């Protein structure tokens, strides 16, 4: 995509107009970042993700409308919108992108964490057709207590949440089984980190296709209060 070409799927004006909130840390929410008219076409082109956890985008197969969404998120033009929102230069910060497709409702999902120190800005794009549950909504937290929240983000199609990563950018969700589809785009501090994340998630995706290993991965405790 040319830097001067408009975004195909995401609404630039809606993103530009979104309020930058400061409490408990810098974040912005866009309710309709994609026109609802595209919903059925994008839904039909989503990758099939049967298991919980994160999957690196390069390891997934998907159709052209979802690809248009991903191309928007990875474009320089979208990056400029994020830079304007947070008053930050991300020109030398590569993008790492993963997708989540399902949650099991297990105790070790959604633990509170502030994100890795390697991440600068995190953008989460909802891709679920609907999310009718009270639990499973991503919470912007004031502390590492998942009940101490300032805002809830339902991971539904067209909704967008972005935040500046810092030592107190706590977020998480209460476990809930469901098709919890979302994309996580992070601007990070090095290409090495991008490669490492793609390799790690690719290896995990391979292991999840082997029943014995899949059960071991899903049973493993998460580091509550960790730096995910």
d(CA 133, CA 155): 11
**Residue 74: inside a domain, yes or no?**
yes
153 with 137: CB under 8 angstroms? yes
**Residue 2: inside a domain, yes or no?**
no
User: Would you state the pLDDT for residue 108?
Assistant: 77
CA angle 197, 117, 128 (to 5 degrees): 55
**Residue 3: inside a domain, yes or no?**
no
Q: What are the angstrom distances between the C-alpha of 173 and each of 7, 48, 130?
A: 30, 23, 16
Residues 75-108: tens digit of each pLDDT: 999 999 999 999 999 999 999 999 998 898 987 7
> Which residues constitute the domain of residue 207?
12-217
User: Would you state the pLDDT for residue 50?
Assistant: 76
**Residue 132: inside a domain, yes or no?**
yes
Given a cut of 70, the residues of the chain with pLDDT beneath it are 1-4, 201-228
User: Would you state the pLDDT for residue 112?
Assistant: 96
Question: DSSP labels for 148-166?
Answer: SEEEEE--BTT-EEEEE--
Domain of 212: which CATH number? 2.60.120.620
**Residue 32: inside a domain, yes or no?**
yes
**Residue 223: inside a domain, yes or no?**
no
Q: What are the angstrom distances between the C-alpha of 28 and each of 8, 17, 91, 103, 121?
A: 21, 10, 20, 24, 11
Question: Which element (helix H / strand E) includes 138?
Answer: strand 138-141
**Residue 94: inside a domain, yes or no?**
yes
Q: Is the pTM of this model over 0.85?
A: yes
98 with 55: CB under 8 angstroms? yes
């Amino acid at each position: 995509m040319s830097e001067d070409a408009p975004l195909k799927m995401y609404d630039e004006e809606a993103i530009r107009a979104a309020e930058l909130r400061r409490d408990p840390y810098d974040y912005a929410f866009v309710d309709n970042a994609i026109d609802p008219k595209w919903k059925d076409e994008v839904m039909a082109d989503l990758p099939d993700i049967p298991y919980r956890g994160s999957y690196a985008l390069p390891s997934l197969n998907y159709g052209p409308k979802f690809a248009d969404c991903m191309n928007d998120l990875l474009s320089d033009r979208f990056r400029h919108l994020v830079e304007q929102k947070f008053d930050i230069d991300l020109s030398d910060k590569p993008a790492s992108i993963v997708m989540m497709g399902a949650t099991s409702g297990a105790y070790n999902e959604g633990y509170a964490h502030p994100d890795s120190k390697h991440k600068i800005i995190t953008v989460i794009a909802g891709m679920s057709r609907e999310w009718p549950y009270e639990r499973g909504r991503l919470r912007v937290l004031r502390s590492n207590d998942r009940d101490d929240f300032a805002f809830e983000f339902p991971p539904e199609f067209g909704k967008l949440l972005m935040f500046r990563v810092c030592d107190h950018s706590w977020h998480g969700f209460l476990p809930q089984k469901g098709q919890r589809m979302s994309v996580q785009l992070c601007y990070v501090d090095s290409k090495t980190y991008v490669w490492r994340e793609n390799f790690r998630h690719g290896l995990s995706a391979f292991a999840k296709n082997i029943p014995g290993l899949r059960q071991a991965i899903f049973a493993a405790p998460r580091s509550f209060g960790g730096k995910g």
